[in-house]
Amino acid sequence: MSKRQPVFYGWWIVLGLFVIGILASLGRYSMAAFLPFVIEDPGWSLPTIGLAQSLGIWLYAVFVLLSGFLVDRIGSRKTFLIGGAVTVSGWVLFSTAESPWQLYLYYGVLLALAVSMTHYVPVMATTRKWFRKRAGLVTGITASAWAVGNAIFVPVMTSLADSQGWRYTSLVLGIGFGLVIILFALLIIRDTPESMELCPDGDRSVSAVSPAECEASVEVSWAVKGAIRTPQFLLLFVAYSVYNIGLNGLALNVVFWATDLGSPEATAGIFSTAFAAPFGLGSIAGGWLGDKYGKDRIMPLGLMLCVGAMLYGWLGVHTQQGLMALAIAVGFGTGLQVSLYAPLLGDLFGRAHVGSLFGILTFGYGLVGGWGPLIWTRLRDVTGHYNSAALVSAVCYAIAAMALLIARRTRAAEHIRYGR
């Protein structure tokens, strides 16, 4: 009778990253939950808030270059510990903001730094370092944590802000979220399977092989400078950058769009749930489908679904029911492809520098995608509605889909050329 093997520690990593992922992004989306209330207290205008949102994303783009490098250099655990401490300070100071410069500093700078060190780049890079064969599925699971967090907490935050005030809500939740991140980083997170004398995926059929040999037997890792010069990386950079104009614009304005259409402020957070919950389902489904049928085949399909949904948003969303349908479709379509970027980077260029490479990819997300909230709020301010912003977003999703289709053809041509 064979001895039963213990659970691969990578699954505990997935659990820890899932919990961290639930809480980490809420520093950014706190503004979406609090938007109806910060317009009244302290009376910031919608364009001022939109600029703060875009500033936060732009600086996040710069900070993720650092966080991706730190994951590769000092390890995930230390990166999350630092990020947890910044999370507490950012939320606490944000709760005291009275003037626009304080909004820009506390929300746009500190919380952007906190999110960069605890959210998508370190979470996805760490996941990819622990798994290879099931990379799509497990990154889909950890990517869905963002959706779970938004689906659960944004409506709660909106309701608490209505009853207790947005400042008190920010203070209490921010301290709690930051401490949980620190606790999970200390108790669960470890940097790589090799650091625990394990192989990726927990494959023990080669137990006699050293961790270094195990790593070398499954992949060849590219240097960062070489990887970023390839056409595949450049096209992935374009796709990830451009589609996020639409994603960030909708995610950070869907609650306010709902109030425009007559939803009560205290319950408008449910529209964020309508976006986030399908996003989570799409992330898991996309990860599984990507492992089974090819990541570069599934990713354009999700973006095409978003193109259709945003065109509907331009032409057909004039009621709360229409907005609900739009949020569900964009959430699911985005989720289908978003969790596959880090696994695909690992497939193409190896695990060793996936944190740095995904950080560079996410730099484009912030640099270009950061215009989303500003574009959406400006168009809303000028036209009195969000429908024109949906049209701009449809174009962005279409450009991203085309970039991924070209990247797939480029990769297929290289496989044929080199007999792979």
Per-residue pLDDT of 79-123, as tens digits, reads 999 999 999 999 999 999 999 899 999 998 999 999 999 988 899
Tell me which of 363 and 212 has the higher pLDDT: 363
Q: Token pair 């950079």 is at which residue?
A: 237
Question: How many Cβ atoms are within 10 Å of 319's Cβ, its own excluded?
Answer: 11
Residue 396 has pLDDT above 90, yes or no: yes
Find out whether the peptide bond into 42 is cis, omega within 30 degrees of 0. yes
Q: What is the pLDDT of residue 402?
A: 95
CB within 8 A of 187, min separation 6: which ones? 16
Whole-model pTM: value is: 0.77
Whole-angstrom Cα distance, residue 288 to residue 51?
Answer: 37
Residue type, 302: G
CB 84 within 8 A of CB 181: yes
Q: Is 70 exposed, middle or buried (0-12, 13-18, 19+ CB in 10 A)?
A: buried
Residue 332 has pLDDT above 90, yes or no: yes
pLDDT tens track for 202-211 = 765 445 455 5
pLDDT tens track for 113-132 = 999 999 888 998 898 889 88
Residue type, 56: G
Whole-angstrom Cα distance, residue 306 to residue 331?
Answer: 8
Q: What DSSP element (H or E) covers 228?
A: none
Mean pLDDT of 405-409: 83
pLDDT tens track for 161-203 = 888 888 999 999 999 999 999 999 999 999 988 888 888 887 6
Q: What is the pLDDT of residue 399?
A: 96
Mean pLDDT of 257-265: 89
Tell me which of 147 and 191 has the higher pLDDT: 191
CB 28 within 8 A of CB 111: yes
CB 394 within 8 A of CB 310: yes
Residue 2 has pLDDT above 60, yes or no: no
CA triplet 235, 349, 61: central angle to 5 degrees? 55
Q: What is the pLDDT of residue 28?
A: 76
CA-nearest of 10, 42, 39, 252 to 133 is: 10
Q: What is the pLDDT of residue 412?
A: 47
User: What mean pLDDT value characterizes the chain?
Assistant: 86
Q: What is the largest CA-CA distance in the chain?
A: 73
Q: Token pair 């709760």 is at which residue?
A: 95
Q: What is the pLDDT of residue 57?
A: 80
Domains and CATH numbers, the chain: 9-191+219-417 (1.20.1250.20)
Alpha helices in 266-370 (DSSP H): 270-293, 295-316, 320-338, 341-349, 354-369
CB 409 within 8 A of CB 345: no
Question: How many Cβ atoms are within 10 Å of 291's Cβ, its own excluded?
Answer: 20
Q: What is the pLDDT of residue 1?
A: 40
Q: What is the pLDDT of residue 121?
A: 87
Whole-angstrom Cα distance, residue 274 to residue 282?
Answer: 13
Residue 417 has pLDDT above 50, yes or no: no
Percent of residues, the chain, with pLDDT higher than 70: 92
Whole-angstrom Cα distance, residue 291 to residue 298?
Answer: 10
Q: What is the pLDDT of residue 120?
A: 84
pLDDT tens track for 338-373 = 889 988 988 888 888 888 898 898 888 888 887 888
* Confidence class for position 60, pLDDT limits 50, 70, 90: confident
Residue 416 has pLDDT above 50, yes or no: no
CA-nearest of 48, 30, 39, 171 to 100 is: 48
Orientation angle between helical segments 231-251 and 371-383, nearest 10 degrees: 40
pLDDT tens track for 270-319 = 888 888 889 889 999 999 999 889 888 999 999 999 999 999 999 989 99
Whole-angstrom Cα distance, residue 14 to residue 287?
Answer: 14
Percent of residues, the chain, with pLDDT higher than 90: 44
Residue 410 has pLDDT above 60, yes or no: yes
Orientation angle between helical segments 26-38 and 135-164, nearest 10 degrees: 30
* Confidence class for position 400, pLDDT limits 50, 70, 90: very high
Mean pLDDT of 13-35: 86
Q: Token pair 């429908």 is at which residue?
A: 387
Phi-psi region of 217 (alpha: psi -120 to 50; beta: other; left: phi over 0): alpha
Question: How many Cβ atoms are within 10 Å of 417's Cβ, its own excluded?
Answer: 8
